[in-house]
Amino acid sequence: MTDRLNIGVLVSGSGSNLQAIMDGCTNDTIPGRVTVVVSNKDGVFALERARNAGLPAVVINHDRYGGREYFEKALAEVLEQHGVQLICLAGFMRILSPWFIRYFSGRILNIHPALLPAFPGLHVQKRALEMGVRFSGATVHFVDDGVDTGPIVIQAVVPILPDDDVDTLSARILVQEHRIYPLAVRWFAQKRLRLVNGKVQLDAGLEHEREMTLAADKAWIHPPAS
Ligand code: GRF
């Protein structure tokens, strides 16, 4: 008997956030273990990362099912078979139905490469550059019925620099994603996340944890005054 949290990670692409979560489990940042990785696409690098770590890597290709309902039933079945207690969406490019979200109610996290509620949806780095905003960042949130609308757990802020393009901005955001996603999962596993009036409250942690987080009392002002 172990009290480590069983985590299922859903992916569709390169899986760098999956890697951060697997590493977090290995180095004990996260008191959990990834029990299954599921991709809706064959041949993605995330599957290789899972196999390299010796984890079950399952492909459930949405194209091979006669509708979302059947795809999601298959997905839920695999997650149940692996005893999943928390689902982490990590670059998973399918919208989940209200049925699926209710089935795993309060147990699905997502990472989004923008400061929600600004820039939900797709192509968010490009849209942030087009809008000329000075900051962007990353958000980990619980998943609800909307697109990128659920209660926010943690955010990290990065500046947008004058010479940025989609690639440089995405890379800067991704560094922070790999930092905050394992933290959010850690807190979930420690049962320290509480929903109060639709917002996430974090129960107090240990003093040394402050070093792992961004300084909550600091504001980021950008560009700096010269
Ligand atoms: C990340 O930017 C994540 O925020 C978004 O999709 C990207 C996935 O990257 N949802 P990876 O597959 O984790 O490398």
Q: What is the DSSP letter of 212?
A: G
> What's the pLDDT score for residue 1?
43
Q: Which two tokens stand for residue 206?
A: 């240990």
- Which atom of ligand 1 is the closest one to the Cα of 138? 4
- CA gap 214, 221 in Å, rounded: 15
Mean pLDDT, rounded, for 25-44: 97
Pocket flag, ligand 1, residue 144 (CB < 6 Å): no
- CA gap 200, 89 in Å, rounded: 18
Give CATH 3.40.50.170 domain extents, the chain.
1-105, 111-226
Task: Report, as residue numbers or ranges, the catalytic residues.
Answer: 112
Q: Assign domain 1-105 to a CATH class.
A: alpha beta
The model's pLDDT over 13-24, given as tens digits with 9 standing for 90+, comes to: 999 999 999 999
> Strand pairing of 199-202 and 193-196?
antiparallel
Q: What is the mean pLDDT of the chain?
A: 93
Whether residue 85 is predicted with pLDDT greater than 80 in this model: the reply is yes
> What's the pLDDT score for residue 207?
61
- Superfamily of domain 111-226 in CATH is Formyl transferase, N-terminal domain (3.40.50.170)
Q: What is the pTM of this model?
A: 0.94
> Strand pairing of 152-159 and 135-142?
antiparallel
Q: Which amino acid is it at 141?
A: H
> What's the pLDDT score for residue 2?
61
Q: Which amino acid is it at 62?
A: H
- Which atom of ligand 1 is the closest one to the Cα of 111? 4
Phi and psi, residue 216, nearest 5°: -70, -20
**Secondary structure of residue 158 in the 3-state scheme:** strand
